[in-house]
Amino acid sequence: MEEKEVTARNLRNVIILSIGCMLLTGAHLTTCGVQQAILQSMVDEDPSSVTADGYIALSIINGVFSIANFVAPLIVSTVGVRTTMIVGTISNALFIAAYLYPKDWVLYGASALLGFTAASVWVANGTYFTRCSTKETIGKNMGIYWVVQSMGMVIGHSFIFWQFQGRNHIDYETRFLVISVLTCISAAATITFFFLGSTSASGEIKKEKEKTSICHLFTEPFQLLASKHMLLLIPPALWNGFEIAFFAGIYPTAVGFTEGFGGDTRKLVGVAGILIGIGTLLGGLIFGVFAEKTANSKRSLVVVIAFISHLVSIILIFINHPNSASQGPTKDVSVLTSPSVSIAMVSAFLLGLGDGCLQPQIFAGIGVIWPDHPGAALALCRFFQGAAIAVGFFTGSLTGLRIILGVFLCIAGIGTLTFCVNERLIDKRDRNYFSNIDPVMQIKVLSKKASICSDSVMNKGTMNYM
């Protein structure tokens, strides 16, 4: 009976955690998608009212986030998991609210604060989830978490579609309402985390272990840089980071600024965000949550599917959107003299689908390569992923869409190649290993890998979208 009570309590905690993360990421990703359109409307009314660049703000968040990943375990082990999530998420509401007064020192300062706290929040997120899960419940818990959390982007951009419909210029009242609602949604996430309960006793044991190995936790990621497996995982992590920057901020901006779509283009930002969210949800469900049912498809094959999805979307975006669409409103045309809304929406869905296919494979692969200590590898991958997101947004502030697409294609191609090479090395290693142990031990090893693999997918942290 006691075991059933613990299971029920942990399930309740997972549901609360999922709802909180849905509110948090929904508010943040929606802000990322509309921030350039909002700032442009402010500039149109009063050029002196805006001194900050939204792309630079997002670049600062992820640049600080990538570095803060190395100290995040220390902060979480000192402050505690639940307290870290409650206090850390306040910075997201402050960042969104900063768009009401987008002076550079306000927005950039809020961005740096968010980047620093974000790393700790998502280390705490993954730690808490793992404590609430067992080998028997990890699959169901992951399904609940992925579906609920992924709905945040869909719901957020549905709100944007409703608010921006019929508007090419976003007036002050609409801006104030949108920013205020998104700020309140982020604050609601903080309140939601107050309701997180205690987990099983094993979680407290893990916490004590974390406290006794702080120095090791900090230095171990750097030691992994000498591993050939980690070196081969860096390009896929960079690809993952760059594509997040592209679909979270750059592409929705390009959709909203392509005036060749005709009137009412701002609402298309919301539609694009909805389709990106749906694509991410489907890709993650098919090749992440339901990975056991698609076990015959190797991780390398799924990553190739992600590359094909991104390749097709890059080609469609190249022919459909003008080069200047990422910078501001434009009537220019690209290969197609009359841009197609349908092509733009298909491109958005494919971007999300590729992301949903790619992310689980990278972090599941970490669990297979380092089954006994995936945390250090996760921190290092998050560092490179966050750095790529920062570079992606910074590139968006400097250059046109075609150069960005070119960089995207090169990183995706290299990332696919190195991931597949890494998978071949893993297969070769496993074949050599299993040939030397008995069948009973093989089953035990495979069972452990499956459990660790699931934990790694969750511990990747949704804040990678920040």
Dihedral over Cα of 22, 27, 31, 34: its sign: positive
Is the Cβ–Cβ distance between 118 and 110 less than 8 Å?
Answer: no
Q: What digits encode the pLDDT tens for the residues 97-144?
A: 999 888 888 899 999 999 999 988 888 887 788 788 776 776 677 778
Q: What is the mean pLDDT of the chain?
A: 81
CATH of the domain at 291: 1.20.1250.20
Percent of the chain with pLDDT over 90: 30
Helix (H, G, I), strand (E, B) or coil at 330: strand
pLDDT above 50 (res 1): no
| Residue 260: predicted pLDDT | 85
The CA-atom distances, in angstroms, between 67 and each of 61, 117, 418 are 10, 11, 24
- Main-chain phi, psi angles of 168, to 5 degrees: -95, -30
Most confident among 68-82, 129-143, 399-413 (mean pLDDT): 399-413
Number of domains in the chain: 1
pLDDT confidence bin for 372, thresholds 50/70/90:
low
| pTM exceeding 0.85 | no
Question: What is residue 406's predicted lDDT score, i.e. its pLDDT?
Answer: 95
Closest CA to 204 of 130, 118, 123, 142: 130
| 436 pLDDT higher than 60 | no
Q: Quickly state the pLDDT bin for 461 (edges 50, 70, 90).
A: very low
Query: What's the rounded Cα separation, in Å, for the pair 165 and 182?
Result: 17
Distance CA 20, CA 93 (A): 13
Q: Are 353 and 360 in contact (CB under 8 A)?
A: no
Phi, psi of 158 (to 5 degrees): -65, -40
Q: Which residue has the higher pLDDT, 286 or 373?
A: 286
Residue 191 DSSP code: H
At 59, which helix (H) or strand (E)? Answer: helix 54-68
As a whole number of angstroms, the distance between CA 251 and CA 372 comes to 39
CB distance 34 to 252 below 8 Å: yes
pLDDT digits (tens, 9 = 90+) for 288-317: 555 555 444 477 888 999 999 999 999 999
Check the CA dihedral 14-15-20-23 and report its sign: positive
CA 321 to chain centre: 25
> Residue 292's pLDDT is what?
52
Q: What is the pLDDT of residue 431?
A: 59
Range of the domain at 175: 2-465
| Dist CA 71 CA 154 (whole Å) | 32
Report residue 199: phi and psi, to 5°. -110, -165
Mean pLDDT of 354-379: 76
Tens digits of per-residue pLDDT, 340-351?
899 999 999 999
Average pLDDT for residues 166-178, to the nearest whole number? Answer: 83
Task: Put residue 419 in one of left, alpha, beta given phi > 0 → left and psi -120 to 50 → alpha.
Answer: alpha
Convert 408-417 to b/e letters by CB count within 10 Å (16 or more is b): bbebbeebbe
In tens, the pLDDT along 191-246 reads 999 998 877 544 444 444 544 455 666 666 677 777 888 899 999 999 999 999 99
Pick from 61-70, 155-164, 210-219, 312-321 the range whose average pLDDT is largest.
312-321
Query: Any alpha helices (H) in 213-293, and if so which ranges?
Result: 214-223, 228-245, 251-257, 267-284
Q: What's residue 134's pLDDT?
A: 73
How distant, in Å, are the alpha carbons of 26, 29, 186 from that of 98? 17, 15, 13
pLDDT at 464 over 60: no
